[in-house]
Chain A
């Protein structure tokens, strides 16, 4: 009783500590998949395309997640799938953040008619349901991993543009910026030294959360048949194969769990980051 009340005497500190396990779990999940993606070639007993057993075998000791319609090991294919999904997600998020931030920051900082036009473009892009737009673009460009990535970037960059623009406008309205202007800072210096350092936080949080969403969207496109082509061990297309062999549930199980775990991990990290970086909470 006494120790309990002593613990709870520092309520803010306690909630901070409670938030930590989520961060640790989230980072743990992501590190696991990154390590798997980078090293799987060196320790995996089979090639992802190797036929190792009879087809459609349920999980067993020799093949933990069973075998697929061609007799390939589902677990090993799931591990190899991390290579595709993580690569796409990293490229897409990096490209979207870069394009979006630059456009948003410049647009918000300089204003005027380019700002209006860019923001209308953002509005229009964001008024498409993301999967539908990505689907249309990917279909227009033709199937393939590269085109999937391009399609997702087109769908995703406006989110960051809007976010960054809002932040820049917010920071611009603060007092110390006026002070810097009064102090004779040049416009470039103002943007680089005074505004951007104060504007990146929401973008970082959002990008962390979105990483999981991008993995999901890329997998969705593959599931539809617009991303990676079938023999490739990509999670979305593996689930699609699972759907085709509905009674062999294990084919889809691993890849789906992988997508889910990355989504959860990103959410854990993003939530914790938001609590830590956002002074408004508490």
Chain B
């Protein structure tokens, strides 16, 4: 089921830090109910900055432009008061490292109950605690009535991340953003957390934004993929189309260790070279210095997103890439 109206619409979002560095340069994507949008990219690609802008929590002194619409309501330029109302009620967020994202001196139950009561001020403390216990049950934390009285340091990494999730879904938000929710966890726990997240969609019509390094997770749960590089979306489309026939050398590079999605996916292999620094971006296509098929035009013109088949791609040679051999990366890597 695809509802026609997206829950979250991001159009041409731009974020620049006070130092005059543009970290997000025109990002657009939509999130629909019960769907998972996965944002993929290396660190420094601007993906975390994008979701922080969506949460209305950009770093101090950063400036935003473009449009972020939640249920049709514009968030860019909205009052802090209004944003605070929406945060935690209509839009929730899960952080990368559950070790540092839970306040160490507040009991876990109080943390969750706080999330409930901030948006239901008339609810009694007792009711909120009852709700906290239910929420922990939802995310499959055993013995929730005991656990609410404990501190976060008494929880394992996976359990902490479940607490994080319980906190974020306390008010059944329309959109849930998960910023690399499994990166800091043990491999064995990662799948469980993804399952918890994925199952949320059966309980209420939430749209998920999943930021990750792990292409295996993307292949497993995402509906739409957004690939970011140097603050821009370089490719986006349905997950199958991207995995089957990506039209961007960067995405191809990320995928190069995945022969096909049918096989269980592995991790992201490094592409030779480093992403460009924010202050010294190369002219033309930002991926050019690392691209095995860069030509003259790539250094003069930055490619814009355009539709090729089912996919939107920002590469001058999207059409040619149908036959492009990703093994070129391995060769470059070997010679480097």
Which chain A residues have a beta carbon within 8 Å of chain B's beta carbons?
5-6, 8-9, 11
Among A5, A6, A11, the most chain B Cβ lie within 10 Å of the Cβ of: A5
With both beta carbons as reference points, the residue of chain A lying nearest to B16 in the complex is identified as A5
Residues of B within 8 A of A5 (CB): 18-20
Residues of B within 8 A of A8 (CB): 18-19
With both beta carbons as reference points, the residue of chain A lying nearest to B279 in the complex is identified as A9
Bound Cα distance from A9 to B20, whole angstroms: 8
Minimum CB–CB distance for B276 against chain A, Å: 17
Interface size class of B (residues with CB under 8 A): under 10
Give the contacts of B5-39 with A (CB-CB under 8 A): 18-21
* A-B CB contact pairs (8 Å), 5 listed: A5-B19, A6-B20, A8-B18, A9-B19, A11-B19
Bound Cα distance from A8 to B17, whole angstroms: 11
Minimum CB–CB distance for A108 against chain B, Å: 33
With both beta carbons as reference points, the residue of chain B lying nearest to A1 in the complex is identified as B20
With both beta carbons as reference points, the residue of chain B lying nearest to A7 in the complex is identified as B19
With both beta carbons as reference points, the residue of chain B lying nearest to A8 in the complex is identified as B19
Bound Cα distance from A143 to B19, whole angstroms: 61
Q: Name the prevailing secondary structure of the A interface residues.
A: helix
Residues of B within 8 A of A9 (CB): 19-21, 279
Minimum CB–CB distance for A3 against chain B, Å: 11
Bound Cα distance from A177 to B19, whole angstroms: 43
Bound Cα distance from A11 to B21, whole angstroms: 13
Residues of A within 8 A of B18 (CB): 5, 8
Minimum CB–CB distance for A9 against chain B, Å: 5
Bound Cα distance from A217 to B133, whole angstroms: 59
With both beta carbons as reference points, the residue of chain A lying nearest to B61 in the complex is identified as A8
With both beta carbons as reference points, the residue of chain B lying nearest to A5 in the complex is identified as B20
Which 8 residue pairs of A and B lie closest in terms of their CB atoms, listed nearest first?
A: A5-B20, A9-B19, A8-B19, A5-B19, A9-B20, A8-B18, A5-B18, A11-B19
Bound Cα distance from A11 to B18, whole angstroms: 11
Minimum CB–CB distance for A232 against chain B, Å: 54
Residues of A within 8 A of B279 (CB): 9
Minimum CB–CB distance for A4 against chain B, Å: 9
Minimum CB–CB distance for B225 against chain A, Å: 34
Bound Cα distance from A227 to B18, whole angstroms: 56
With both beta carbons as reference points, the residue of chain B lying nearest to A10 in the complex is identified as B19
Residues of A within 8 A of B19 (CB): 5, 8-9, 11
Minimum CB–CB distance for A2 against chain B, Å: 8
Minimum CB–CB distance for B18 against chain A, Å: 7
Residues of A within 8 A of B20 (CB): 5-6, 9
Residues of A within 8 A of B21 (CB): 9
Minimum CB–CB distance for A48 against chain B, Å: 55
User: Given A9-B21, A9-B279, list of 9 further CB < 8 A pairs?
Assistant: A5-B18, A5-B19, A5-B20, A6-B20, A8-B18, A8-B19, A9-B19, A9-B20, A11-B19
Bound Cα distance from A8 to B18, whole angstroms: 8
Minimum CB–CB distance for B302 against chain A, Å: 22
Bound Cα distance from A135 to B21, whole angstroms: 60
Give the contacts of B86-124 with A (CB-CB under 8 A): none
Bound Cα distance from A234 to B20, whole angstroms: 56
Bound Cα distance from A5 to B20, whole angstroms: 6
Minimum CB–CB distance for A192 against chain B, Å: 43
Bound Cα distance from A11 to B59, whole angstroms: 15
* Contact pattern, B 254-288, Cβ under 8 Å of A = 1, otherwise 0: 00000000000000000000000001000000000
Bound Cα distance from A8 to B279, whole angstroms: 13
Minimum CB–CB distance for B16 against chain A, Å: 10
With both beta carbons as reference points, the residue of chain A lying nearest to B19 in the complex is identified as A9
Bound Cα distance from A279 to B19, whole angstroms: 24
Bound Cα distance from A17 to B18, whole angstroms: 19
Bound Cα distance from A50 to B21, whole angstroms: 67
Minimum CB–CB distance for B204 against chain A, Å: 43
With both beta carbons as reference points, the residue of chain B lying nearest to A9 in the complex is identified as B19
Give the contacts of B271-330 with A (CB-CB under 8 A): 279
Bound Cα distance from A11 to B20, whole angstroms: 12
Among B18, B21, B279, the most chain A Cβ lie within 10 Å of the Cβ of: B18
Minimum CB–CB distance for B92 against chain A, Å: 32
Bound Cα distance from A6 to B279, whole angstroms: 12
